[in-house]
Amino acid sequence: MADRAVVFIDGNNWFHSLRFAGVQRRALLDYRKITEKLLGPRQWVATRYYIGQISQAANPVLYAQQRSFLASLERTDPRISVCLGRIEPITVTNEAALELREYLGGLTTKIDPVVFAALSDIATRHSAATVFVEKAVDVFLAVDLVTMAMNDVYDAAYLLTADGDYTPAVAEVRHLGKKVYAASSLSGAQLAKAVNSFIHLRADWFDDCYQ
């Protein structure tokens, strides 16, 4: 039987690794070419791209850009599919704003009242901030990685990420007798210890991987 392989892409981590490496024209990368280059002689079974879905109401421009990119991705090859998680807003404390308020409250010397009032207002308005956090994506990927190994869908898995949170899933997959490789431009020291091999990708590796 051929050495079958599936590629699992942690979209968010992968995007940041490309940016870190200085890869240009990231939206024009051809994931069929990337997959075939990584797999070499192995039989390509599937490439699965995991990403949090941007809310149209929250940011219609980014929503449209993401939809365009994902649609183009799936048109590249029928073996490429997209798995969507969600992105949720959460409120976090702005430590810098709190520190500014404490500093102003503890001043022993007088400063211009207008300046004091302006700084106090800034500290109050920015004491909390809304950030958007990706949810469920890493769980979906880890579950698919293990489930597909248990169902004997592949002989080798390629993780396009440097996230050490996948280490337990990798350990289980290897326990099932499968090989696991990780590829990223980031270091991923923890994940590198868990996989069969960690492939470090530099920007020039992608030179022949564009549409």
- Helices 95-105 + 113-125 axis angle, to 10: 150
For residues 76 and 169, state if they share a domain: yes
For residues 172 and 103, state if they share a domain: no
Given this model, what pLDDT does residue 1 score?
Answer: 52
For residues 190 and 102, state if they share a domain: no
Structure tokens at 66: 């993401």
Given this model, what pLDDT does residue 118 score?
Answer: 84
- CB-based contacts of 40: which residues, under 8 Å, 6+ apart? none
Beta-strand ranges (E) seen in 125-194 are 128-135, 156-160, 179-184
Given this model, what pLDDT does residue 134 score?
Answer: 63
| Number of independent structural domains in the chain | 2
Given this model, what pLDDT does residue 208 score?
Answer: 96
Given this model, what pLDDT does residue 101 score?
Answer: 82
- Residue where the block lists tokens 């192995």: 42
Given this model, what pLDDT does residue 132 score?
Answer: 59
Phi and psi (nearest 5°) for 199?
A: -100, 110
Residue 141 · residue 50 · CB < 8 Å: yes
Does residue 211 sit within a domain? no
For residues 186 and 165, state if they share a domain: yes
For residues 78 and 102, state if they share a domain: no
- Residue where the block lists tokens 């769980």: 139
Given this model, what pLDDT does residue 99 score?
Answer: 85
Given this model, what pLDDT does residue 100 score?
Answer: 81
Question: How confident is the chain (211 residues) per 10-residue block, as mean pLDDT?
Answer: 90 93 92 97 97 86 91 96 80 79 83 84 78 76 97 97 96 97 94 96 96 91
For residues 153 and 184, state if they share a domain: yes
For residues 196 and 111, state if they share a domain: no
Residue 161 · residue 191 · CB < 8 Å: yes
For residues 150 and 107, state if they share a domain: no
